[in-house]
Amino acid sequence: MTDQTKPPSLYAPRVPIFPRRVTGFFRNFKWAILIVTLGIYYVTPWIRWDRGPSLPDQAVLVDIASRRFYFFWIEIWPHEFYFVAGLLIMAGLGLFLFTSALGRVWCGYTCPQTVWTDLFMLVERWIEGDRNARVRLQKAPWSLRKWRLRLTKWTVWLAIAIATGGAWVFYFTDAPTLARDLVSLTAHPAAYITIAILTATTFVFGGFLREQVCIYMCPWPRIQAAMMDTDTITVAYRDWRGEPRGKNNKRRIQAAAVQIEAQQQAAGAGEARYPGTPYREAAKPAIPALEPETGPEPEPGDCIDCMACVNVCPMGIDIRNGQQMECITCALCIDACDDVMAKIGKPRGLIDYIALSDETAERAGEPAKPLWKHILRPRTIMYTLLWSLIGIGLVYALFIRSDIELTVSPVRNPTYVTLSDGTIRNIYDVRLRNKSGEARDFRLKLTSEELLRIELEGMDDLTLQVPANTTVLQRVYVTARPQDPAATSAATPLRLWVEDTTAQTRASKATTFNGKAN
Amino acid sequence: MSKGKKDDVTGTETTGHSWDGIEELNTPLPRWWLWTLYLCIIWGIAHTIAYPAWPMISGATKGVLGWSTRANVAAEITAHDAKNAELVTALLATDMETLPASADLNRYAIARGGAVFRSNCSQCHGSGAAGTKGYPNLLDDDWLWGGQMADIEFTVRHGIRNEQDSDARYSQMPAFGEMLEKEEIAAVVEHVVSLSSAEYDANLSATGATVFADNCSACHGEDGLGDRIQGAPNLADAIWLYGGDHETLTNTVVNGQFGIMPAWGPRLTEADIRAVSAYVHSLGGGE
């Protein structure tokens, strides 16, 4: 088939979004989360934690040069990286759990992209005004005023962005020292480069790309559909209640007028703006009797098509179109709509956190399933169980860690060495780790059912000093005399022990002795 | 098929393409994404100009920045050498016998020596230094020419029975096949077996003891304990360089053995020689 007309463009220019200011429960909740998360991010590197003279006193420090990760009283060595892996798996499972139970709460409340964009929008509103003012400014020609407002906004954004990148590097080295070095321009180039990159990404992502990051860059919106089902509590529009929507419905105008009047009369009675009764249990407000209509008009829904939900949406979508990939469930439309519902005297919750499976029941006016039945279901229980098991495992592993550790690598090239007198010798590369803050004397021992002897390369006895916070590689020899059974048998199990002579703590590793039959 | 036609089901604009009634929906990409693609292409071209990229008939374009992996490695090695310069100076200044006493320097020497060993010595002595027939095992406590640090260092520097270094350790076991009768050889082999084994023919060994005293004891000693000055192996211990069975011993007596080790003095740096000596000394047999 041929088509002579010009085909539509395959590329679309971005439609700018000017979210309107909104107040309400979810907005306040989001402000609280913003303050807490940003607070944690900016303050954490400055918390001090005394670990003695030989160790850094920064509470949270990723010391890449010395290959240590410090977290308050916990010190992670490279060989304990499974803690980090475990935490990452827990973070993943936690994300699955929250998404399957409460939808995209990560996206809506705690994702850094959301939090910083929120902050950038706040700055934008302070400087350029609310939605209408910003739309006007956008359309206005480049005047002196527009330049002034734009430059002020960009400057504040840039300051936030620099602070963001700046805070990041403090996690990797002593914060006060680095702060001094940064200011005196003597810090390592890596610090400046990292700050520059993070400043650029924060500035661009938070200031300009915003919802484009969520829609086109982030994989999570596309993955999360697999985590959600009809029992998931998510932000949705009760279309059975709202439709048919419309502004110019006579019945509605009359009803609203009556309601507002009633409300004003009852204002003295101190009725709460948001009565705790859910809509489905409350009686639908009675609409006063009307004059006969001239034409047929269906009974109007609660939605007056005021576009408040659309105007506050940071993603620029219309929640009334149903579940959408773009929706980050920030719940600001709930706040906006509740506000309008209160003004026109309708119960709150036209847009609300609801489970889609309740739709049929609600439409029929029947009570919906209780919240806990939505939350507690096999998949969320499974996620919680897995999450807790890994958590318990990690905590257990954390508590059984000791200050001394050894790893034993038997040298198997060759499997054994024959000495002049026929003695059979096995060699082991033993790594001794002293995690205490001071040098310690470690004594090595051996236990076995057979007669075996232990010697250390280059040492006269079995005790060696291991400096503080270091791993020492020691070559260990285990020998069996020619007449002993271990010398002629294929493999003899043995256990190598290390004892901290100061702290009286011990650790051991099982290994094997190879004889001539090997 | 007019522009901006909407699909009935989805309400999405179509591209106007239709195959057997199936219409292609148009979900436009953001325009900035397109610009990102163009920027990446420009970046890619710039990268091939800046860095080595385009294959030519011999070699590839060098790139205007003059960057090369080889230069990078060379720079890294230089930087590494500079970092170790202090340790190298200390290693060169230290008396080898006292090296094990200074822990840090010893650790450096052994690590460096391990690297030297793996690239220069492992071809004959094996990567685990366990040797093989004719090439000594360096893990045991048996040394032909001495196992003290200085002995090992000398052996490494000058080698054994080579022609390049006049200071090379030298000795030669004669081929007794031309000097002794077959019966005498069988007897002396039996005597050598008796030195380290409980299973031997006592009569034959007794005959062999005389042959041994007349022909072998000058180098291997009266009791067959060997002589390190001449590199004569100890025949009474449990370690055999070529093998301790009758056949191998007979072959050794008839033809002699003449193991050669090259001199490493001209090939390795002074620091490397010291380091590899320290490494060999640390393998379990060092005296």
pLDDT band at A276 (very low <50, low <70, confident <90, very high): very low
**Which of A111-120, A251-260, B6-15 bottoms out in mean pLDDT, i.e. has the lowest?**
A251-260
With cut-offs at 50, 70 and 90, classify the pLDDT of residue A470: confident
CA A382, CA A359: separation in Å to the nearest integer?
26
8 Å CB contact of B238 and A1: no
The mean per-residue pLDDT over the stretch B51-70 comes to 91
CA distance B53 to chain A (A): 26
Nearest Cα to A451, choosing from A485, A477, A474? Answer: A485
Q: Confirm if A221 and A211 have CB atoms less than 8 A apart.
A: no
Average pLDDT, chain A: 88
Residues in chain B closer than 8 A to A421 (CB atoms): 237-238
Name which of B28, B141, B282 is nearest A10 (Cβ-Cβ).
B28
Q: How far is A23 from chain B (nearest CA, A)?
A: 31
Query: Residues of B near A (CB-CB distance < 8 A)?
Result: 1-4, 13-19, 26, 28-34, 100, 106, 126-128, 130, 137, 139-142, 234, 237-239, 282, 284
Sign of CA dihedral A241, A242, A248, A254: positive
User: To probe the interface with B, which of A417, A473, A483 has the most B CB atoms within 10 Å?
Assistant: A417
Question: Which residue of chain A is at minimal alpha-carbon distance from B35?
Answer: A11
Contact A7 B234 (CB under 8 A): no
- A293 or A29, which is more confident: A29
pLDDT in tens, B236-275: 999 999 999 999 999 999 999 999 999 999 999 999 999 9
Q: Domain spans of chain B?
A: 1-67, 71-168+261-281, 176-255
Q: Is A163 in contact with A123 (CB distance < 8 Å)?
A: no
- Phi, psi for residue A467 in degrees, rounded to 5: -65, 165
φ/ψ of A178, rounded to 5, equals -65, -40
| Superfamily in which the B176-255 domain is placed by CATH | Cytochrome c-like domain (1.10.760.10)
For A10, nearest residue in chain B (alpha carbons): B28
> Which chain B residue lies closest to A423 (C-alpha atoms)?
B238
Mean pLDDT over B24-37 rounds to 89
Dist. CA A331–CA A313, nearest whole Å: 9
Confidence band for B85, pLDDT divided at 50, 70 and 90: very high
Are the Cβ atoms of B126 and A413 closer than 8 angstroms? yes
A425 touches B: beta carbon within 8 Å: yes
pLDDT at residue B195 tops 50: yes
Residues of B in contact with A13 (CB under 8 A): 30-31
Do B71-168+261-281 and B176-255 have matching folds? yes
> What DSSP string runs through chain B?
--TTPBPTTT-PBEEEEEETTEEEE--PEEHHHHHHHHHHHHHHHHHHHHSS--B-SSSB---TT---HHHHHHHHHHHHHHHHHHHHHHHHHS-GGGGGGSHHHHHHHHHHHHHHHHHHTHHHH-TTS--BTTB--SSSS--SS--SHHHHHHHHHH-BS-SS-TTSB------GGGTS-HHHHHHHHHHHHHHH-S---HHHHHHHHHHHHHHTHHHH-TTS--BTTTTBPPSSSS--SS--SHHHHHHHHHH-----B---TTTS-HHHHHHHHHHHHTTTT--
Q: Quick check: B4 and A8 CB within 8 A? A: yes
Interchain CB distance below 8 Å, B140 and A9: no
> pLDDT tens for residues A49-89?
998 877 899 999 999 988 899 999 888 888 888 999 999 99
Residues of B in contact with A417 (CB under 8 A): 130, 137, 139-140, 284
Smallest CA–CA separation between B128 and chain A, in Å?
5
| Residue type present at position B255 | N
Quick one: pLDDT at residue A251?
60
A483–B contact, CB cutoff 8 A = no
Reported confidence tier of residue A263, pLDDT bands at 50, 70, 90: low
d(CA B137, nearest CA chain A) in Å: 9
Query: Residue A403 has what pLDDT?
Result: 83
pLDDT tens per residue across span B129-175: 999 999 999 999 999 999 999 999 999 999 999 999 999 999 999 99
Q: What is the CATH number of domain B71-168+261-281?
A: 1.10.760.10
CA dihedral of residues A449, A455, A456, A461 (deg, nearest 10): 110
Contacts of B224 in chain A (CB under 8 A): none
Report A:375-414 residues touching B (Cβ under 8 A): 411, 413-414
A458 touches chain B (CB under 8 A): yes
B72-81: pLDDT as tens digits? 999 999 999 9
Report pLDDT for A283: 41
Which residues in chain A have their CB less than 8 angstroms from residue B29's CB? 10-12
> Quick one: closest CA in B to A422, which residue?
B238
**pLDDT at residue B1, rounded to an integer:** 39
Asked whether the CA dihedral B125, B130, B133, B136 is positive or negative, the reply is positive
Q: Do B30 and A427 touch (CB under 8 A)?
A: no
Domains and CATH numbers, chain A: 25-226 (no CATH), 233-266+296-369 (no CATH), 404-514 (2.60.40.10)
* Share above pLDDT 90 across residues of chain A, in percent, rounded to a whole number: 66
Amino acid sitting at position B175 = A
The verdict on a CB contact (< 8 Å) between B137 and A12 is no
B141 and A419: CB-CB below 8 Å? yes
Residue A9 has pLDDT above 90, yes or no: no
**Percent over 70 (pLDDT), chain B:** 99
Q: Which residues pair with A466 in a beta bridge?
A: A440
Cβ–Cβ contact A9 with B under 8 A: yes
Neighbours of A204 (CB within 10 A): 14
The reported pLDDT for the residue numbered A274 is 41
Contact check, Cβ <8 Å, B284/A425: yes
What DSSP string describes A426-441? Answer: EEEEEEEEE-SSS-EE
> Using CB atoms, which residue from B26, B234, B239 is nearest to A10?
B26
